[in-house]
Amino acid sequence: MPELKLRSATEVYERGMDHLRSTLDPASYYAVDEDGSRRRLPIGRWLKRAHDDEEILLERAVGPVLDIGCGAGRHLAALGRRGIEATGVEVSRFAVALAREQHANVIHGSVFDLTESQKWHTALLLDGNVGIGGDPERLLAQSIDLLRPNGQVLVELEPPSVETRSVNLRLEGPSDVSEWFPWAWVGVDSIASIARSAGLEVSDVWSSGDRWFSQLRLVSMA
């Protein structure tokens, strides 16, 4: 077996998207946990139009919307077709370029660097992005700072069978592997307590196929 080349997580992520987009070869890319467990990255889904269950979720979105970790921009494109103002924030330059090909408005950078408080009505944390940075409470608190007083967060979660925990992950492709980086898996059974600690409350939880979602709202101070 050839030795894998060490890259940043962003580079491996970008190579996976570029590979599938350029060759349509279903080469496998994985997120690998410290315990050795592996999850195949659904790169093909990330590069397509929003799926039906995502379109149903986006019916709840009220603009302006901030899509955190927007990737190639499929949710931004779906919101654009609905006439909803939306902006993405994304650390990968390659993904930003793909999103902009769809005429999406995208900020290149980290959500933790955004300083425009109370600008957005809805924040999206889909595709497991509530795990960004390995501290979901911190991420939700940052989202609150960016939301208007009556704002909401639409979040995708792990199913009830998955334990909520902070981990170190790396990405693996056919010829490369990333450095370790912090992430979190957030199960649906834990979202109420995590949201409450951040200043949010759960207004709805639902499943579609094998995916789980929740709608979080700012806790009323009345």
Distance CA 71, CA 94 (A): 9
Tokens standing for residue 92: 């990968």
Give the domains, in start order, of the chain with CATH numbers. Answer: 5-218 (3.40.50.150)
Condensed to tens digits (0 to 9), the pLDDT of residues 43-90 reads 999 999 999 999 999 999 999 999 999 999 999 999 999 999 999 999
pLDDT at residue number 1 = 45
Q: Within 10 A of 106 (CB to CB), how many other CB atoms are there? A: 23
Distance CA 172, CA 179 (A): 10
Three-state DSSP class for residue 55:
helix
What pTM was computed for the model? 0.94
Angle at 144 between CA 168 and CA 54, to 5 degrees: 70
Contact 122/85 with Cβ under 8 angstroms?
Answer: no
pLDDT at residue number 81 = 96
